[in-house]
């Protein structure tokens, strides 16, 4: 039975039911098949997406823009100099104005509160393209990729190495919904937000997913079906980069770490990659790397969200 998501926001994967989560993944798979068959499909004909960017982006901007165009719609880029959230005018007023012009709003911001405020005041769906707290679109693409490569999600094990950051937070929510066991291997002091961990564990109680936070890399990667990492210092954390590098070097995704996982484990990274830091060139270019398939799936997963919420 199909659940209607029309008019809904995607601020966090935690807001989705398990059924809604898989409905988005199934839609993404179907969109990818349509593209591979070169099939005409225009669900966004005559529709517009406003894209608010406080941070620069390659994958987020191009995947949303190309996807809207591919499916008959139009994407409007609003960069840091075009729209100053909460400065030139209030975030609430921006949300109400944009709602009169477009069918959906995507926002890539520093502050998660900005995304929440947009969603509160907009009368059209708001999609979180990234915030300092969460990155739901990325995790939809990640778990789409994992299912694509392994044929299922329930009961698989994902190991996330490095920082308990926004990507790790959304991965907790996503794995909990999907029934994927997740081990986060992080240095002391870099653990995920405890409230997010508690919420994800509450979801996991209904799916059987085990969510573990450890300081032991070997424990995390043992028997893993997928190894995942992200940059150690995100935009806005440049001043901490040297210390973060020192603290996280033991958690590098290298051939030694990969050898402790299952022989057919896949390697994932949300990109951009700082090669030689969180991941070695040998691993990201190796046969187990599915990083660029994962990057492609950003387009399909995000368009699936829009198909669902725009209707």
- Which member of 59, 114, 132, 138 is catalytic? 138
User: Domain 138-294 belongs to what topology?
Assistant: Rossmann fold (3.40.50)
User: Is residue 18 annotated as part of the catalytic site, yes or no?
Assistant: no
Which residue in the list 8, 114, 121, 298 is annotated as catalytic? 298
| CATH node for 13-134+298-310 | 3.40.50.1370
Q: Which of 14, 61, 108, 300 is catalytic?
A: 108
Asked if the domains at 13-134+298-310 and 138-294 fall in one CATH topology, the answer is yes
pLDDT for 1 equals: 67
- Kindly give the interhelix angle for 291-310 and 59-70, rounded to the nearest 10 degrees: 50
**pLDDT of the residue at 164:** 97
Active-site position among 270, 288, 300, 302:
270
To the query of whether residue 225 is one of the catalytic residues in this protein, the response is: no
Determine whether 108 is an active site residue. yes
Structure tokens at 70: 């591919």
- What average pLDDT values come out for the chain (311 residues) when binned by 10 residues? 93 98 98 97 97 94 98 96 83 97 97 97 98 98 98 98 98 98 98 98 98 98 98 80 95 98 98 97 98 98 98 81
What contacts 256, CB < 8 A, 6 or more positions away? none
Q: Which two tokens stand for residue 74?
A: 């139009």
Residue 175 is a catalytic residue: no
Residue 29 sits at φ, ψ, to 5 deg, of -60, -40
- Annotated catalytic, 100? no
Q: Give the closest residue to 176 by CA, choosing from 210, 146, 131, 133.
A: 210
Is 61 one of the annotated active-site residues of the chain?
no
148 preceded by a cis bond (ω within 30 of 0)? no
Give domain limits for the chain.
13-134+298-310, 138-294
Q: Note the pLDDT of residue 145.
A: 99
Select which of 230, 247, 269, 288 is catalytic: 230
């Amino acid at each position: 039975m199909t659940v209607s998501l029309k008019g809904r926001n995607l601020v966090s994967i935690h807001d989705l039911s398990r059924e809604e989560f898989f409905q988005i993944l199934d839609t993404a798979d179907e969109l990818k098949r349509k593209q591979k068959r070169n099939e005409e499909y225009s669900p966004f004909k005559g529709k517009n997406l406003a894209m608010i960017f406080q941070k620069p982006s390659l994958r987020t901007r191009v995947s949303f823009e190309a996807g809207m165009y591919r499916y008959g719609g139009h994407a409007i880029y609003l960069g840091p100099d075009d729209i100053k959230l909460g400065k030139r005018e209030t975030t609430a007023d921006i949300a109400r104005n944009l709602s009169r012009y477009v069918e959906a709003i995507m926002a890539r911001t520093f502050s998660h509160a900005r995304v929440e405020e947009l969603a509160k005041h907009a009368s059209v769906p708001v999609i979180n393209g990234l915030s300092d707290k969460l990155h739901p679109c990325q995790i939809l693409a990640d778990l789409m990729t994992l299912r694509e490569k392994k044929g299922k999600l329930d009961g698989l094990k994902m190991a996330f190495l490095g920082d308990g950051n926004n990507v790790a937070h959304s991965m907790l929510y996503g794995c909990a919904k999907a029934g994927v066991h997740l081990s986060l291997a992080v240095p002391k002091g870099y653990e995920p937000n405890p409230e997010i961990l508690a919420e994800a564990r509450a979801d996991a109680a209904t799916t059987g997913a085990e969510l573990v936070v450890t300081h032991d890399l070997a424990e995390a990667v043992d028997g893993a079906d997928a190894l995942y990492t992200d940059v150690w210092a995100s935009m806005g954390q440049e001043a901490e980069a040297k210390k973060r590098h020192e603290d996280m070097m033991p958690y590098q995704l290298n051939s030694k770490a990969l050898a402790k996982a299952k022989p057919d484990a896949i390697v994932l990274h949300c990109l951009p990659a700082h090669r030689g830091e969180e991941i070695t060139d040998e691993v990201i270019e190796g046969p187990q790397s599915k990083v660029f398939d994962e990057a492609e799936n950003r387009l399909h997963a995000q368009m699936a969200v829009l198909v669902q919420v725009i209707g």
